[in-house]
Amino acid sequence: EKAFPELNEAEGLTFNGKIDAVFSDESGNNHLILDYKTDRTSDYGSEHRQQLSVYRRIYSVGTGIPEGRIKVALGYVSLRGTVNTGKIDYRLDDAEPRPSALDTFKRHLGELIHYRNDPEYFIDALMSKEEDDTLYRYMTRYI
């Protein structure tokens, strides 16, 4: 709640997350949060970096370490091509999250809280969306 005061509005809403690894340099001044991913591709890097921006904020608040001294990275450990050749690859993605990543998370969190507090708002938002997805069409047909 210290990291995200927005959660004060979300009574009973709990978020669980696990930081896979944190590495510190010899001086103990600089830190790296590494999040391992088993995705087949790195296509969702942007979404994963949004998650890392949240981890960085929570780690910073919990430890008192300024966010500027905490770097983040994704460690893909199970990359495979579309054709199964039996080869599994790995890659380190140390691109920083966009400055807007945390704001995007907060906006999504606000929407989630609004949906939870006002189910009609959720239904209206769901029904007003134009989606060409079989499951989505099936669900909205019965609402």
Alpha-carbon distances, residue 30 vs 24, 26, 70 (angstroms): 6, 9, 6
How many domains are contained in the chain?
1
Per-residue pLDDT of the chain (143 residues; tens, 9 = 90+): 666 766 666 667 777 788 999 999 999 999 999 999 998 888 889 999 999 999 999 999 999 999 999 999 999 999 888 888 888 898 999 999 999 999 998 888 888 888 888 999 988 888 887 777 787 777 777 77
Is the alpha carbon torsion for 9, 13, 19, 24 positive or negative?
positive
Is the backbone of residue 75 left (phi > 0), alpha (psi -120 to 50) or beta?
A: beta
Query: Alpha-carbon distance 136 to 128, whole Å?
Result: 12
Please state, as a whole number, how many other Cβ atoms lie within 10 Å of the Cβ of residue 9. 13
Q: Which domain holds residue 42?
A: 5-141
